[in-house]
Homo-oligomer: A and B are copies of this chain.
Amino acid sequence: MFSEEEYKTRRKKLKESLGEGLILFLGNDECGINSKDNTYPYRQDSSFIYFFGLQIPGLNALIDLEEDKEIIFGDNLTIDDVVFMGPTESLEEQAHKVGVTSVRPSENLASYIENSIGKGRQIHYLPPYRPEHILKLSDLFNFSATAVSKKVSVEFIKAVVKLRSIKSNAEIEEIEKAVNTTVQMQYKAMGMAAPGMTELDLFGAIQNIAVANGNNTSFPPIVTIDGQILHNHFRGNLLKKGDMVLCDCGAENFSGYAGDLTRTFPINKTFSVKQKEIYDIVYKSYQAAVNMLRPKQQFIDVHLRACKELVVGLIELGLMKGDPDKAVESGAHTLFFQCGLGHMMGLDVHDMENLGEQYVGYTTDLKQSKDFGFKSLRFGRALEEGMVFTVEPGIYFIPELIELRKSENKYMEFINYDKLEEYKSFGGIRLEDDFLITSSASRLLGAKLPTTSNEIEDFRTSKSSF
C-alpha cells in the first residue's frame, strides 16, 4: 500500500478530469470455485486498488463530485467472520490509511444511487468484466444485463487510462520487485528443466516462487514444449531431449503489481542448429524493437519494425521470400507472429485490459486494426515517459494455421510453403522483457536474465547434469 497522500492525489486528479457527477467503483467480491465458499485467491479490481488501495472483498466506493464526498461502502466483521477468517482492523481504520474518512454499510449504496438517479445525476462506472459486476450494476440501476455494458462511462475510462498509464516512482519500484521475482522464476525453470520431468514440475516450482515472494502469479503461467500455442494452459507433457521449453510467467506483488517475462530454452545443454537460427532471428527483432523505445515513438511502428526483422531473418533462412516491407504490409509475417509485440504492464499484466484496448492503446486518430495478427496488438499509440511495456517478439509454427493459409493460397508471394514443411513440428520461440520508458529511451526492469542464445546455452550448460 502506498502513502495516504498518493491515493488522495490520484483521486484528486480523477475528480479534476471528470468534473461532475458520481463516480462509482465496484470492488471485486470473492469468487467461488465449485461452491460459494470455496474461493479462488482473492483479487481486488485494479482500478479500485489504484484509487482506494484496500484489497478486501465486498467493498464498493463512490466519489460524489458535487457534494465533494468520498465514501467506501462495506461492512465490518461479525464474530463468525472473526472465528473463521481472523480479526482485522475496523474498516474505518483501514479506510483512514488511504485518506477516506467516510465509511458506510454496504446496504446504503443502493439508496445513494437511487437518490442520485432520482435527481437526474450522471453516474460514471467502468466496464464490468466479471458476472458479479453485471449483476450488481443491473441491480443498482435496474438495467438489463445487456444495457449495463452499454452505459459505461467513456469519460471515466479515459480519465483512468490517462492516470494509470504513467507510473509513479513508487509504482515503478513495485513493478520492478515483481519483475525481479519473475526473474527468479525464470532462473528456476531454466535451471531445473531435465528430461523426464513434466511441464507441471516446472509450473509448480515457479508458482512456488511467486507465492513465496508475493501474492501469486500475475497470470496463468505458460510452461510448455508446445511454444507455438500462444496462451497454452495445458501442462501435462513430458520434457524430452531435443525439446525446447517456452516459459512465459509473471509474479504479482501483494500491492497488485505484475511482472511478465518469457524465455525459451533447450532441454539439451544447447539449441539445435535449427532452433538457434530461429532464436537468433527473434533476438534480432527484440533488439531492434528495444532500440526504438522512447517517448513520442508510436508503438505500432516499433511493432512493424520488429515484424520486419523477423521477415528479414526468415527470408535468409528460406522460409519467406520477396520484399520484407511488402511482406509485412500484406500481413504475411502473421503466419509466424500472430500477436502483438507487447503491452503496457502495471496493476494488470495487460494493463487496463478490462477498460478496452481502443481506449488504452489507441486514439481517435489511430484505431485498432481488425486484421488477423494486427488485431492482437494491444497498444499502438505513442509512448510516454513513465509507461511500462513488455517487448515480446516470437516465431511460432502453428500447423493448423499453416495448413489453413496454404489451403487459402494466401501469401504465396512471400511464403515458401514447401520449405515450411520442415518446420511444422518446430514449436515456437518467444523472448520477452519489461521496460520503463524514460525521458530519452528505455530502461530494462529487473535483473538481466540470459537473453542471447549463447547466454542461454552457457546457463543451461552450467546447470545440466545429464
Could you say which of A207-215, A275-283, A313-321, A453-461 contacts chain B? A207-215
Chain A residues numbered 212-252 whose CB sits less than 8 Å from any CB in chain B = 212-213, 219-220, 226, 229-234
Chain A residues numbered 348-382 whose CB sits less than 8 Å from any CB in chain B = 348-350, 353-354, 372
A37 surroundings in chain B (CB, below 8 A):
350, 353
Whether A209 pairs with B220 at a CB distance below 8 angstroms is no
Chain A, residues 57-70, CB within 8 Å of chain B (1/0): the string is: 00000000000000
Q: How far apart are the CA atoms of A87 and B139 in the complex, in Å?
A: 39
Whether B129 pairs with A138 at a CB distance below 8 angstroms is no
Contact of A208 among B43, B135, B207, B338 (CB under 8 A): B207
Given contacts A31-B31, A145-B138, A229-B85, contact A211 B219 (CB under 8 A): no
A34 surroundings in chain B (CB, below 8 A):
28, 43, 45-46, 129, 347-348, 354
Contact of A400 among B38, B46, B87 (CB under 8 A): B87
Q: How far apart are the CA atoms of A135 and B84 in the complex, in Å?
A: 29
A32 is an interface residue with CB less than 8 A from chain B = yes
Chain A, residues 187-219, CB within 8 Å of chain B (1/0): the string is: 000000000001011011101111111000001
Whether B212 pairs with A85 at a CB distance below 8 angstroms is no
A398 is an interface residue with CB less than 8 A from chain B = yes
Whether B231 pairs with A353 at a CB distance below 8 angstroms is no
> In this complex, what residue of B is CB-closest to A353?
B35
A33 is an interface residue with CB less than 8 A from chain B = yes
Q: How far apart are the CA atoms of A32 and B211 in the complex, in Å?
A: 19
Whether B129 pairs with A132 at a CB distance below 8 angstroms is no
Whether A400 pairs with B139 at a CB distance below 8 angstroms is no
A273 is an interface residue with CB less than 8 A from chain B = no
A41 is an interface residue with CB less than 8 A from chain B = yes
Whether B400 pairs with A82 at a CB distance below 8 angstroms is yes
How many copies the complex holds: the figure is 2
Chain A, residues 284-313, CB within 8 Å of chain B (1/0): the string is: 000000000000000000000000000000
Whether A131 pairs with B132 at a CB distance below 8 angstroms is yes
Whether A212 pairs with B219 at a CB distance below 8 angstroms is no
CB distance from A372 to the nearest CB of B (A): 8
A210 surroundings in chain B (CB, below 8 A):
204
A401 is an interface residue with CB less than 8 A from chain B = yes
CB distance from A112 to the nearest CB of B (A): 20
CB distance from A454 to the nearest CB of B (A): 30
Given contacts A230-B83, A348-B35, A401-B82, contact A131 B131 (CB under 8 A): yes
Chain A residues numbered 8-65 whose CB sits less than 8 Å from any CB in chain B = 28, 31-43, 45-46
Chain A residues numbered 145-160 whose CB sits less than 8 Å from any CB in chain B = 145
Q: How far apart are the CA atoms of A35 and B38 in the complex, in Å?
A: 21
Whether A204 pairs with B198 at a CB distance below 8 angstroms is no
A86 is an interface residue with CB less than 8 A from chain B = yes
Whether B35 pairs with A129 at a CB distance below 8 angstroms is yes
A404 is an interface residue with CB less than 8 A from chain B = yes
A to B CB contacts below 8 Å, 27 in the list: A31-B40, A31-B130, A34-B45, A35-B354, A36-B353, A37-B350, A38-B219, A38-B349, A39-B220, A42-B233, A79-B400, A79-B404, A80-B372, A82-B398, A83-B229, A83-B401, A84-B229, A84-B231, A85-B233, A131-B132, A131-B134, A134-B135, A198-B212, A200-B213, A204-B207, A205-B212, A207-B208
Give 6 new A-B contacts, CB below 8 A, not counting A40-B40, A131-B134: A28-B34, A34-B354, A86-B232, A131-B132, A200-B213, A207-B211
- What 8 A-B pairs are tightest by C-beta distance, nearest first? A204-B212, A131-B131, A86-B229, A204-B208, A35-B354, A35-B353, A208-B208, A131-B132
